[in-house]
Chains A and B, each alone.
Chain A
Amino acid sequence: GAGVSQTPSNKVTEKGKYVELRCDPISGHTALYWYRQSLGQGPEFLIYFQGTGAADDSGLPNDRFFAVRPEGSVSTLKIQRTERGDSAVYLCASSAFYRDTSYEQYFGPGTRLTVT
């Protein structure tokens, strides 16, 4: 079946602009996660949704970052007033959570964000 999809695959924006990154999880997966991966590093957790609500947003670096999942499926990560330090690959993952006690997370291809 279809995996996690993310759009766009690449985004180049100017410092100070607003961007939205979209994630479409595996159908039926209730849990959705956003991670950020800087060059040469492991992914770092940003936010986790269970259904429509953010169950843990402790990884969001500051209030310029916000994420929504209004219908419990697609999620959008929003970054205001982008800074060069926001440049990274943003990864989305989903898991079946309650139906799969391994809690395995399946990752999308990522969005490479470059802030110039």
Chain B
Amino acid sequence: ELKVEQNPLFLSMQEGKNYTIYCNYSTTSDRLYWYRQDPGKSLESLFVLLSNGAVKQEGRLMASLDTKARLSTLHITAAVHDLSATYFCAALAGTASKLTFGTGTRLQVTL
């Protein structure tokens, strides 16, 4: 059974600082997804990582995937208040098609 763990669960950071959220998964998965969720809202897709070594960047966020280590990271560069939200990683096991989500990382960027 595929399990996904994220850490930290909560992250409070100052504007302008850098930080990384980690996502570990338990069994083989070659598709890893990052979503953002604002309070009371649905999930917004951020990144789709399809292969080992994949790296994608959008603005101050960069995601990477290491399938050998079963690890994905979401790096935040020079955080701004607008990035405050909960971030989820999710893995797809083969062609099972159902996503298994981590518990989420609640990011709070303080002024």
Contacts and interface: CB of A to CB of B under 8 A. Distances in A.
Given A41-B104, A42-B104, A102 B50 contact: yes
Contacts of A91: 42-43
- Interface size class on chain A is 20 to 34
A103 B88 CA distance: 17
27 contacts: A33-B97, A41-B103, A41-B104, A42-B4, A42-B88, A42-B90, A42-B102, A43-B43, A43-B99, A43-B101, A45-B98, A45-B99, A48-B97, A48-B98, A56-B97, A59-B98, A91-B43, A102-B31, A102-B50, A103-B92, A104-B45, A104-B48, A105-B33, A107-B35, A107-B43, A107-B45, A110-B42
Main secondary structure of the interface of B (DSSP, over half): strand
Q: How large is the interface on B (under 10, 10 to 19, 20 to 34, 35 or more residues)?
A: 20 to 34
